[in-house]
Amino acid sequence: MNKTIVALDFSSKEEVVTFLEAFDEPIFVKIGMELTYACGFEIVETVKAMGHNIFLDLKLHDIPNTVKGGMKNLAKLGVDIVNLHCAGGSVMMKAAIEGLEEGAVNGKRPLCIGVTQLTSTSKEMMNDELMIPGDVLDAVLHYAKNAKDAGLDGVVCSVHEAAAIHKLCGDDFLTVTPGIRLSTDSVDDQKRVATPEYAKKQGCDYIVVGRSITNSENPKQTYINIEGMMK
């Protein structure tokens, strides 16, 4: 199974198709809000028809009943992974799983993972602006435990928290880690970043990589190099 999930942060179907046509084999991709809001859910069908695995990253965060209904309809799309914000709370997370089970296609629901603290969040921002005290690791572990208890399949976190999450929640509990940068890349808006090599050392199940691949001169070769670092 591929360990690298490529973030298709594009605003048109043409860019997505051109990007994916370079790959000879199916890969794992992430369709997020930029692409979905530009193209609608039709883009999910387009990418599925090309044979790729899909993480549909819409980060649901609302009252339990609304998230349940939303997840029911997302499950019908037959994607592999969906996500939500753990900050929505345990009742919301349980409702999300109920919705996914109701909408499951042929008895199979998408995996559901919860965003703990965005990788663009620093300790200072978390403490001073969001008013969550302590270290980022403490908050992330607390949210991960809530997610596990609510029946989620894993979390989105930074590479720096993945090993501690596996220790607390078990090796089967997925850690999906964005904020990946090659050592020469600019950090951009990310705060908790790490290289693919370090992600492998920390036991991350999947890394999410956007700009390091999509903005590179040869995206396919960069993808192959990064996959190589994760094997």
Ligand X SMILES: O=C(O)c1cc(=O)[nH]c(=O)n1[C@@H]1O[C@H](COP(=O)(O)O)[C@@H](O)[C@H]1O
Binding-site positions for substrate read 9, 30, 57-66, 119, 181, 190, 210-211
- Nearer to ligand X by Cβ, of 103 and 161: the residue is 161
Residues 52-111 within binding reach of ligand X (CB under 6 A): 57, 59, 83
Q: Which amino acid is at 191?
A: K
The residues that bridge with 177 in the sheet, in sequence order, are 207
- Give the separation between CA 49 and CA 43, rounded to whole angstroms: 10
- Give the separation between CA 180 and CA 169, rounded to whole angstroms: 23
- Residue the block writes with tokens 């920390």: 202
- Nearer to ligand X by Cβ, of 82 and 95: the residue is 82
Among 83, 5, 84, residue whose Cα is nearest residue 47: 5
Do residues 27 and 51 touch, judged by C-beta distance below 8 A? no
Residues 172-211 within binding reach of ligand X (CB under 6 A): 178-180, 188, 190, 208-211
Contact flags string 124-163 toward ligand X, x per CB under 6 A: --------------------------------x-------
- How far from 98 is each of 74, 112, 125, 147, 176, CA to CA, in Å? 12, 11, 33, 14, 22
Closest residue to ligand X using C-beta atoms: 210
Of the candidate residues 20, 32, 141, 152, the single one contacting ligand X (CB under 6 A): 32
- Nearer to ligand X by Cβ, of 45 and 188: the residue is 188
59 is catalytic: yes
Given 59, 76, 145, 200, the catalytic residue: 59
- Nearer to ligand X by Cβ, of 58 and 102: the residue is 58
Residues at the interface with ligand X (CB under 6 A) = 7, 9, 30, 32, 57, 59, 83, 115, 118-119, 156, 178-180, 188, 190, 208-212
Provide the annotated active-site residues: 59
